[in-house]
Amino acid sequence: MVQPAPTLQLRSSAEIPQIGLGTWPMDDAEAAAAVEAAIGIGYRHFDTAENYGNERGVGEGIRRSGIARSEVFVTTKFNRKWHSRDGVREALRHSVERLGTEYVDLLLIHWPNPDQDRFVEAFVGMRELLDEGLIRAAGVSNFKPAHLQRLLAEDLVPDVNQVHLDPYRPRHDVREADAGSGIVTESWSPIGRGGDLLAEPVLTALADKYGKTPAQVVLRWHVANGFVTIPKSGNPERMRRNLDVFDFELDADEVAAVDALADPAAPLTDSDEFGH
Ligand SMILES: NC(=O)c1ccc[n+]([C@@H]2O[C@H](COP(=O)([O-])OP(=O)(O)OC[C@H]3O[C@@H](n4cnc5c(N)ncnc54)[C@H](OP(=O)(O)O)[C@@H]3O)[C@@H](O)[C@H]2O)c1
Protein backbone atom coordinates (compact mmCIF):
# COMPACT_ATOMS: atom_id res chain seq x y z
CA MET A 1 0.00 0.00 0.00
CA VAL A 2 1.14 3.54 -0.80
CA GLN A 3 1.00 6.20 1.92
CA PRO A 4 -2.40 7.96 1.63
CA ALA A 5 -2.17 11.50 0.26
CA PRO A 6 -1.90 14.39 2.71
CA THR A 7 -5.02 16.51 3.10
CA LEU A 8 -5.70 20.20 2.51
CA GLN A 9 -8.06 22.11 4.75
CA LEU A 10 -11.08 23.61 3.00
CA ARG A 11 -12.91 26.79 4.07
CA SER A 12 -15.80 24.67 5.32
CA SER A 13 -13.26 22.91 7.60
CA ALA A 14 -13.52 19.59 5.73
CA GLU A 15 -10.17 18.07 4.78
CA ILE A 16 -9.64 16.92 1.21
CA PRO A 17 -6.92 14.41 0.25
CA GLN A 18 -4.65 16.16 -2.25
CA ILE A 19 -4.78 13.29 -4.76
CA GLY A 20 -7.99 11.47 -5.59
CA LEU A 21 -9.03 9.01 -8.26
CA GLY A 22 -10.87 10.38 -11.30
CA THR A 23 -13.59 8.03 -12.54
CA TRP A 24 -14.68 9.45 -15.91
CA PRO A 25 -15.30 7.64 -18.34
CA MET A 26 -15.72 4.45 -16.28
CA ASP A 27 -19.08 2.69 -16.23
CA ASP A 28 -20.53 1.29 -12.99
CA ALA A 29 -18.71 -2.04 -13.23
CA GLU A 30 -15.34 -0.44 -14.04
CA ALA A 31 -15.79 2.17 -11.32
CA ALA A 32 -16.66 -0.45 -8.68
CA ALA A 33 -13.56 -2.50 -9.51
CA ALA A 34 -11.31 0.57 -9.74
CA VAL A 35 -12.51 2.14 -6.48
CA GLU A 36 -12.18 -1.12 -4.57
CA ALA A 37 -8.64 -1.63 -5.92
CA ALA A 38 -7.74 2.02 -5.29
CA ILE A 39 -8.77 1.83 -1.63
CA GLY A 40 -6.48 -1.18 -1.24
CA ILE A 41 -3.67 0.86 -2.83
CA GLY A 42 -4.19 3.84 -0.48
CA TYR A 43 -6.63 6.22 -2.25
CA ARG A 44 -9.12 7.94 0.05
CA HIS A 45 -10.71 10.40 -2.39
CA PHE A 46 -12.97 9.69 -5.38
CA ASP A 47 -14.33 12.03 -8.04
CA THR A 48 -17.61 11.18 -9.74
CA ALA A 49 -20.59 13.05 -11.23
CA GLU A 50 -24.23 12.58 -12.09
CA ASN A 51 -23.14 13.01 -15.70
CA TYR A 52 -20.62 10.15 -15.60
CA GLY A 53 -23.41 7.64 -14.89
CA ASN A 54 -21.14 5.74 -12.46
CA GLU A 55 -22.11 6.93 -8.97
CA ARG A 56 -23.61 3.49 -8.23
CA GLY A 57 -20.32 1.85 -9.14
CA VAL A 58 -18.30 4.25 -6.99
CA GLY A 59 -20.55 3.52 -3.99
CA GLU A 60 -20.33 -0.21 -4.66
CA GLY A 61 -16.52 -0.09 -4.76
CA ILE A 62 -16.42 1.71 -1.39
CA ARG A 63 -18.74 -0.88 0.16
CA ARG A 64 -16.83 -3.83 -1.33
CA SER A 65 -13.57 -2.52 0.14
CA GLY A 66 -15.05 -2.69 3.66
CA ILE A 67 -13.60 0.71 4.57
CA ALA A 68 -15.60 2.99 6.90
CA ARG A 69 -17.53 5.69 5.05
CA SER A 70 -15.84 8.35 7.18
CA GLU A 71 -12.42 7.27 5.87
CA VAL A 72 -13.15 8.27 2.26
CA PHE A 73 -13.86 11.62 0.62
CA VAL A 74 -16.44 11.51 -2.18
CA THR A 75 -17.04 14.33 -4.66
CA THR A 76 -19.99 14.42 -7.02
CA LYS A 77 -21.41 17.06 -9.37
CA PHE A 78 -24.84 17.89 -10.75
CA ASN A 79 -26.17 18.87 -14.16
CA ARG A 80 -27.74 22.09 -15.39
CA LYS A 81 -31.33 21.07 -14.88
CA TRP A 82 -30.85 21.25 -11.09
CA HIS A 83 -29.67 24.86 -11.00
CA SER A 84 -32.16 26.21 -8.46
CA ARG A 85 -32.38 26.45 -4.70
CA ASP A 86 -34.62 23.40 -4.37
CA GLY A 87 -33.15 21.67 -7.42
CA VAL A 88 -29.76 21.16 -5.77
CA ARG A 89 -31.45 19.45 -2.83
CA GLU A 90 -33.18 17.12 -5.28
CA ALA A 91 -29.90 16.51 -7.17
CA LEU A 92 -28.16 15.60 -3.92
CA ARG A 93 -30.98 13.27 -2.92
CA HIS A 94 -30.59 11.37 -6.21
CA SER A 95 -26.79 11.24 -5.96
CA VAL A 96 -26.87 9.96 -2.38
CA GLU A 97 -29.38 7.32 -3.39
CA ARG A 98 -27.17 6.17 -6.29
CA LEU A 99 -23.98 6.27 -4.22
CA GLY A 100 -25.65 4.53 -1.29
CA THR A 101 -23.77 6.84 1.06
CA GLU A 102 -25.53 8.97 3.65
CA TYR A 103 -23.82 12.16 2.62
CA VAL A 104 -21.48 13.61 0.02
CA ASP A 105 -18.20 15.20 1.08
CA LEU A 106 -17.99 17.73 -1.75
CA LEU A 107 -20.84 18.73 -4.06
CA LEU A 108 -19.94 20.71 -7.19
CA ILE A 109 -21.88 22.72 -9.74
CA HIS A 110 -20.47 20.81 -12.74
CA TRP A 111 -20.58 23.70 -15.26
CA PRO A 112 -21.76 27.30 -14.73
CA ASN A 113 -24.15 27.27 -17.72
CA PRO A 114 -24.36 31.08 -17.77
CA ASP A 115 -26.98 30.91 -20.54
CA GLN A 116 -29.57 29.93 -17.92
CA ASP A 117 -28.01 32.27 -15.31
CA ARG A 118 -29.03 30.23 -12.28
CA PHE A 119 -25.72 29.17 -10.75
CA VAL A 120 -25.91 31.82 -8.00
CA GLU A 121 -29.31 30.49 -6.96
CA ALA A 122 -27.94 26.94 -7.06
CA PHE A 123 -25.08 27.92 -4.76
CA VAL A 124 -27.51 29.49 -2.28
CA GLY A 125 -29.21 26.07 -2.12
CA MET A 126 -25.85 24.34 -1.66
CA ARG A 127 -25.01 26.55 1.28
CA GLU A 128 -28.25 25.42 2.92
CA LEU A 129 -27.22 21.78 2.36
CA LEU A 130 -23.87 22.58 3.96
CA ASP A 131 -25.51 24.24 6.96
CA GLU A 132 -27.72 21.17 7.39
CA GLY A 133 -24.70 18.83 7.30
CA LEU A 134 -25.89 16.98 4.19
CA ILE A 135 -22.63 17.85 2.43
CA ARG A 136 -19.24 18.61 4.00
CA ALA A 137 -18.12 21.14 1.41
CA ALA A 138 -19.65 23.08 -1.50
CA GLY A 139 -17.80 23.95 -4.67
CA VAL A 140 -17.88 24.73 -8.35
CA SER A 141 -16.30 23.39 -11.50
CA ASN A 142 -15.25 25.08 -14.73
CA PHE A 143 -15.85 28.54 -13.23
CA LYS A 144 -13.95 31.44 -14.78
CA PRO A 145 -13.05 34.45 -12.60
CA ALA A 146 -16.15 36.30 -13.89
CA HIS A 147 -18.40 33.44 -12.72
CA LEU A 148 -16.68 33.40 -9.31
CA GLN A 149 -17.19 37.15 -9.04
CA ARG A 150 -20.95 36.67 -9.33
CA LEU A 151 -20.86 34.36 -6.28
CA LEU A 152 -18.45 36.50 -4.28
CA ALA A 153 -20.67 39.54 -4.82
CA GLU A 154 -23.34 37.67 -2.84
CA ASP A 155 -20.88 36.57 -0.14
CA LEU A 156 -20.97 33.02 -1.48
CA VAL A 157 -17.49 31.48 -1.42
CA PRO A 158 -16.96 27.96 -2.84
CA ASP A 159 -14.56 25.59 -1.12
CA VAL A 160 -13.14 24.31 -4.40
CA ASN A 161 -13.00 25.24 -8.09
CA GLN A 162 -12.29 22.14 -10.22
CA VAL A 163 -10.93 23.14 -13.65
CA HIS A 164 -9.00 21.77 -16.63
CA LEU A 165 -5.39 22.45 -15.64
CA ASP A 166 -2.06 20.90 -16.60
CA PRO A 167 1.42 22.27 -17.43
CA TYR A 168 0.22 23.25 -20.94
CA ARG A 169 -2.81 25.01 -19.40
CA PRO A 170 -1.65 26.64 -16.16
CA ARG A 171 -4.86 28.74 -15.83
CA HIS A 172 -3.17 31.58 -13.93
CA ASP A 173 -6.27 33.78 -14.08
CA VAL A 174 -8.38 31.09 -12.39
CA ARG A 175 -5.71 30.15 -9.84
CA GLU A 176 -5.23 33.76 -8.79
CA ALA A 177 -8.97 34.35 -8.46
CA ASP A 178 -9.32 31.14 -6.41
CA ALA A 179 -6.38 31.89 -4.13
CA GLY A 180 -7.58 35.44 -3.53
CA SER A 181 -10.69 34.05 -1.83
CA GLY A 182 -9.23 30.97 -0.15
CA ILE A 183 -10.74 28.64 -2.77
CA VAL A 184 -8.74 25.46 -3.41
CA THR A 185 -7.98 24.87 -7.09
CA GLU A 186 -8.52 21.26 -8.19
CA SER A 187 -7.13 20.12 -11.53
CA TRP A 188 -8.96 17.81 -13.92
CA SER A 189 -7.18 16.00 -16.77
CA PRO A 190 -4.01 16.66 -14.73
CA ILE A 191 -1.73 14.43 -16.81
CA GLY A 192 -3.14 15.48 -20.17
CA ARG A 193 -5.05 12.22 -20.53
CA GLY A 194 -1.75 10.36 -20.85
CA GLY A 195 -0.98 12.04 -24.21
CA ASP A 196 1.92 14.06 -25.70
CA LEU A 197 2.55 15.95 -22.46
CA LEU A 198 4.17 12.89 -20.90
CA ALA A 199 6.79 12.74 -23.68
CA GLU A 200 8.06 16.29 -23.05
CA PRO A 201 11.87 16.17 -22.62
CA VAL A 202 11.80 18.32 -19.46
CA LEU A 203 9.49 15.77 -17.84
CA THR A 204 11.39 12.70 -18.98
CA ALA A 205 14.66 14.28 -17.73
CA LEU A 206 13.17 15.01 -14.29
CA ALA A 207 11.67 11.51 -14.23
CA ASP A 208 15.16 10.05 -14.86
CA LYS A 209 16.70 12.25 -12.18
CA TYR A 210 14.23 11.18 -9.49
CA GLY A 211 13.64 7.57 -10.60
CA LYS A 212 9.98 8.43 -11.28
CA THR A 213 7.75 8.47 -14.36
CA PRO A 214 6.81 11.62 -16.32
CA ALA A 215 3.24 11.30 -14.98
CA GLN A 216 4.58 11.29 -11.42
CA VAL A 217 6.64 14.41 -12.16
CA VAL A 218 3.53 16.18 -13.50
CA LEU A 219 1.48 15.13 -10.47
CA ARG A 220 4.26 16.37 -8.17
CA TRP A 221 4.09 19.71 -10.02
CA HIS A 222 0.34 19.91 -9.22
CA VAL A 223 1.08 19.11 -5.57
CA ALA A 224 3.90 21.69 -5.46
CA ASN A 225 1.43 24.32 -6.68
CA GLY A 226 -1.01 23.49 -3.90
CA PHE A 227 -3.66 21.98 -6.15
CA VAL A 228 -5.87 19.01 -5.40
CA THR A 229 -5.71 16.66 -8.36
CA ILE A 230 -7.64 13.64 -9.60
CA PRO A 231 -5.78 11.52 -12.18
CA LYS A 232 -7.93 8.76 -13.62
CA SER A 233 -6.67 5.24 -14.10
CA GLY A 234 -8.38 1.90 -14.24
CA ASN A 235 -5.02 0.14 -14.12
CA PRO A 236 -3.88 -0.78 -10.58
CA GLU A 237 -0.18 -0.30 -11.35
CA ARG A 238 -0.74 3.19 -12.80
CA MET A 239 -3.10 4.01 -9.92
CA ARG A 240 -0.36 3.06 -7.48
CA ARG A 241 2.23 5.17 -9.26
CA ASN A 242 -0.10 8.17 -9.54
CA LEU A 243 -0.50 8.24 -5.77
CA ASP A 244 3.17 7.58 -5.05
CA VAL A 245 4.44 11.15 -5.45
CA PHE A 246 5.02 12.21 -1.86
CA ASP A 247 8.57 10.86 -1.46
CA PHE A 248 10.33 13.38 -3.73
CA GLU A 249 10.16 17.11 -4.38
CA LEU A 250 10.79 19.42 -7.31
CA ASP A 251 12.91 22.45 -6.42
CA ALA A 252 11.87 25.95 -7.46
CA ASP A 253 13.94 25.84 -10.69
CA GLU A 254 12.40 22.50 -11.64
CA VAL A 255 8.86 23.76 -11.00
CA ALA A 256 9.73 26.76 -13.21
CA ALA A 257 11.06 24.42 -15.92
CA VAL A 258 7.71 22.58 -15.95
CA ASP A 259 5.90 25.96 -15.89
CA ALA A 260 7.74 26.79 -19.13
CA LEU A 261 5.64 24.14 -20.94
CA ALA A 262 2.68 26.57 -20.79
CA ASP A 263 1.10 26.82 -24.23
CA PRO A 264 -1.36 29.69 -24.75
CA ALA A 265 -2.72 27.83 -27.79
CA ALA A 266 -3.63 24.66 -25.85
CA PRO A 267 -7.36 24.07 -26.38
CA LEU A 268 -9.78 24.65 -23.51
CA THR A 269 -13.55 24.12 -23.47
CA ASP A 270 -15.20 27.52 -23.06
CA SER A 271 -17.54 27.30 -20.06
CA ASP A 272 -19.45 30.35 -21.30
CA GLU A 273 -20.45 28.26 -24.32
CA PHE A 274 -20.47 24.63 -23.15
CA GLY A 275 -22.09 22.97 -20.16
CA HIS A 276 -24.42 20.16 -19.17
N1 LIG B 1 -15.19 18.82 -13.85
C2 LIG B 1 -15.12 18.47 -15.12
O3 LIG B 1 -15.77 19.06 -16.00
C4 LIG B 1 -14.25 17.31 -15.52
C5 LIG B 1 -13.97 17.07 -16.87
C6 LIG B 1 -13.16 15.99 -17.20
C7 LIG B 1 -12.65 15.15 -16.21
N8 LIG B 1 -12.98 15.39 -14.89
C9 LIG B 1 -12.47 14.49 -13.80
O10 LIG B 1 -11.06 14.49 -13.85
C11 LIG B 1 -10.57 13.15 -13.91
C12 LIG B 1 -9.23 13.09 -14.58
O13 LIG B 1 -9.27 13.64 -15.89
P14 LIG B 1 -9.17 12.75 -17.22
O15 LIG B 1 -9.61 11.37 -16.93
O16 LIG B 1 -9.83 13.52 -18.30
O17 LIG B 1 -7.60 12.79 -17.57
P18 LIG B 1 -6.25 12.31 -16.86
O19 LIG B 1 -6.48 11.90 -15.47
O20 LIG B 1 -5.26 13.40 -17.15
O21 LIG B 1 -5.79 11.06 -17.74
C22 LIG B 1 -6.46 9.82 -17.71
C23 LIG B 1 -5.92 8.97 -18.86
O24 LIG B 1 -4.51 8.78 -18.69
C25 LIG B 1 -4.22 7.37 -18.56
N26 LIG B 1 -3.25 7.27 -17.47
C27 LIG B 1 -3.49 7.25 -16.14
N28 LIG B 1 -2.36 7.20 -15.44
C29 LIG B 1 -1.35 7.17 -16.33
C30 LIG B 1 0.06 7.13 -16.20
N31 LIG B 1 0.62 7.09 -14.99
N32 LIG B 1 0.79 7.14 -17.34
C33 LIG B 1 0.21 7.17 -18.56
N34 LIG B 1 -1.13 7.21 -18.75
C35 LIG B 1 -1.91 7.22 -17.64
C36 LIG B 1 -5.53 6.69 -18.23
O37 LIG B 1 -5.59 5.39 -18.78
P38 LIG B 1 -5.73 4.07 -17.84
O39 LIG B 1 -7.06 4.15 -17.16
O40 LIG B 1 -5.66 2.95 -18.83
O41 LIG B 1 -4.58 4.08 -16.89
C42 LIG B 1 -6.55 7.60 -18.93
O43 LIG B 1 -6.66 7.27 -20.29
C44 LIG B 1 -11.72 12.41 -14.65
O45 LIG B 1 -11.61 11.02 -14.53
C46 LIG B 1 -12.92 13.03 -13.96
O47 LIG B 1 -13.12 12.42 -12.69
C48 LIG B 1 -13.74 16.46 -14.54
Side-chain half-sphere exposure of 271, counting CA atoms within 13 A: 22
Query: Angle at Cα 43 formed by Cα 51 and Cα 41, nearest 5°?
Result: 125
pLDDT at 1: 87
Per-run averaged pLDDT (10 residues), the chain, 276 residues? 94 97 98 98 98 98 98 98 98 98 97 98 98 98 98 98 98 98 98 98 98 98 98 98 98 98 97 96
DSSP assignment of 105-125, as one string? EEEEES---TTT--HHHHHHH
If you take atom 19 of ligand 1, which residue's CA is the nearest one? 231
What are the two backbone dihedrals, phi and then psi, of residue 36, each rounded to the nearest 5 degrees?
A: -60, -45
Distance CA 105, CA 45 (A): 10
For the chain, the residue count is 276
pTM to 2 decimal places: 0.98
Residue 233 CA, ligand 1 centroid: distance in Å: 6
What are the two backbone dihedrals, phi and then psi, of residue 79, each rounded to the nearest 5 degrees?
A: -85, 175
Mutual orientation of helices 85-99 and 119-131 as an angle, nearest 10°?
60
| 3-class DSSP assignment, residue 247 | coil
Letter for the amino acid at 193?
R
Give every strand in the sheet of 21-22, ordered side by side.
21-22, 45-47, 73-78, 104-109, 135-141, 160-164, 184-188, 228-229
pLDDT at 125: 98
Annotated binding residue 222: no
Catalytic residues: 52
Helix (H), strand (E) at residue 16: strand 15-17
Q: Name the residue of 161, 222, 232 whose CB sits within 8 Å of the most ligand 1 atoms, as the mutation to test its pocket.
A: 232
pLDDT at 41: 98
Residues near ligand 1 (Cβ within 6 A): 22-24, 47, 110, 141-142, 162, 188-194, 198, 213, 215, 230-235, 238, 241-242
Residue 128 CA, ligand 1 centroid: distance in Å: 32
pLDDT at 3: 87
Bridge partners for 77 per DSSP: 108
pLDDT at 82: 98
Domains in the chain, ordered, with CATH?
Answer: 15-195+225-235 (3.20.20.100)
